[in-house]
């Protein structure tokens, strides 16, 4: 196959590309320039897409003996990922920019361009597994030769990235390769990179939001959205503090609330709600964060057997299916049951789930298998 390998300049993507070469594919490397004003160097483990990263990606391609290109997608990144990030916070929601980057950049813009250029698949260094199994929706094929591709958690659960990949959908999953899905640990990847002579073997992992290189998300929002002073209130509407912008707060937040008076019972208070229309931040006790149900919109389904079993015209127990729901990239899955709605999903939680904010991504699992994903529109208290 002709494979386009996305080379970020880090160790994961370099080893993933190397494994694609070893598998006998015709591999071409590409580095995505996503920042309009790229720094010369990364700030330690923060940020990405610097000129240093592009150089590291080029050197990895040289070691692997594959062609290498740089594609400038900075305008697309700014107009989709960064713009969505700002708009969501301004609307009192909490977005996940990595989900949006995978949706709009890595598995939309990049993959669409790759297909247009004649590539069969895109290879990345994400930690996730793709499994093939007979299509349960095709009973007319008794041989089981009709196969569907499933997205599963990585073997190394500590590095699993299936949560941020769930938004890609089945069509793009069919053209995706994740060669690191079966590795036991990141240490194994670094050791392999060193054996291959890749200079990025000891390069620090990047983390946090790539376009906020200094890690100061509130400062970034304040710079882009400006100061918008307002009140911090309790659940009775009493003013207990002030803020410079409701966009800087998220549901479940405890620190940095600028509350002038303690709660009557002396217990800590948390952000329960961000109200962009009134520019208020509502705070209250921890137990008020408990979530009993999640309502999601813009659902993306990866499990045809689950989707096909749902009758949207009925409202009975047959519509529900058991699953686990995860609402943060490194959060724990919580037992639940769910059913499709028109364009979305309703999830009823059977466990401890707290502090879920509109705008977050809710991913449904059956064991290690990803069933689907939706954007949280709202929640109901437990």
Instruction: Name 364's bridge partners.
Output: 325, 372
Q: Which of 49, 98, 123, 210 does the annotation list as catalytic?
A: 210
Decide the pairing of beta strands 121-123 and 68-72.
unpaired
User: Which residues have CB under 8 Å from 97's CB, separation 6+?
Assistant: 81, 82, 84, 85, 209, 210, 211
Angstrom distances, CA of residue 341 to CA of 174, 223, 294, 319, 379: 25, 38, 12, 10, 15
323 is annotated as an active-site residue: no
| CA gap 49, 247 in Å, rounded | 26
101 is annotated as an active-site residue: yes
| CA gap 109, 86 in Å, rounded | 21
Q: Taking a C-beta distance cutoff of 8 angstroms, is the pair 163, 360 a contact?
A: no
Least Cα distance to 190 among 168, 152, 145, 159 occurs for 159
Tokens at residue 14, please?
A: 């370099």
Helix boundaries (H) for the chain: 11-22, 51-64, 74-77, 83-90, 97-101, 110-116, 162-165, 169-173, 186-195, 217-225, 304-308
Decide the pairing of beta strands 361-366 and 369-381.
antiparallel
Angstrom distances, CA of residue 216 to CA of 46, 83, 213, 271, 283: 11, 17, 8, 19, 23
Q: Which of 49, 101, 123, 323 does the annotation list as catalytic?
A: 101
- Position of tokens 């899905």? 181
Residue 75 half-sphere exposure toward CB, CA atoms < 13 A: 2
| Residues that are catalytic | 101, 210
């Amino acid at each position: 196959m002709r494979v386009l390998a996305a080379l970020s300049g880090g160790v994961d993507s370099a080893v993933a590309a190397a494994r694609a070469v070893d598998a006998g594919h015709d591999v071409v490397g590409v580095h995505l320039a996503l920042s309009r004003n790229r720094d010369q160097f990364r700030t330690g483990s923060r940020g990405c897409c610097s000129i240093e990263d592009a150089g590291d990606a080029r050197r990895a391609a040289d070691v692997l003996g594959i062609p290498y290109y740089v594609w400038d997608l900075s305008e697309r990144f700014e107009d989709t990922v960064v713009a969505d990030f700002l708009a969501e916070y301004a609307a009192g929601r909490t977005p996940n920019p990595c989900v949006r980057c995978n949706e709009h950049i890595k598995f939309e813009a990049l993959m669409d361009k790759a297909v247009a250029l004649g590539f069969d698949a895109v290879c990345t260094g994400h930690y996730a597994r793709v499994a093939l199994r007979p299509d349960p929706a095709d009973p007319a094929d008794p041989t089981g030769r009709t196969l569907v591709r499933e997205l599963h958690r990585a073997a190394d659960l500590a590095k699993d990235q299936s949560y941020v990949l769930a938004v890609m959908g089945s069509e793009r999953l069919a053209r995706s390769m994740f060669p690191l899905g079966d590795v036991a640990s990141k240490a194994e990847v670094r050791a392999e990179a060193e054996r291959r002579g890749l200079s990025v073997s000891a390069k620090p992992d990047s983390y946090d939001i790539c376009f906020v290189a200094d890690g100061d998300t509130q400062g970034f929002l304040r710079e882009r959205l400006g100061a918008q002073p307002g009140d911090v209130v309790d659940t009775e509407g009493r003013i207990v503090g002030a803020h410079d912008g409701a966009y800087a707060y998220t549901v479940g937040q405890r620190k940095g609330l600028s509350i002038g008076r303690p709660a009557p019972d002396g217990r800590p208070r948390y952000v329960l709600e961000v109200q962009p229309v009134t520019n208020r931040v509502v705070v209250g006790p921890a137990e008020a964060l408990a979530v009993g149900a999640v309502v999601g919109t813009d659902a993306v389904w990866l499990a045809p057997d689950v989707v096909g079993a749902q009758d949207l015209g009925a409202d009975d127990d047959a519509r529900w299916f058991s699953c686990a729901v995860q609402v943060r990239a490194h959060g724990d899955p919580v037992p639940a049951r769910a059913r499709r709605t028109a364009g979305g999903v309703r999830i009823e939680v059977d466990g401890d789930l707290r502090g879920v904010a509109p705008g977050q991504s809710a991913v449904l699992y059956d064991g290690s298998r990803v069933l689907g994903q939706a954007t949280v529109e709202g929640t109901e208290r437990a």
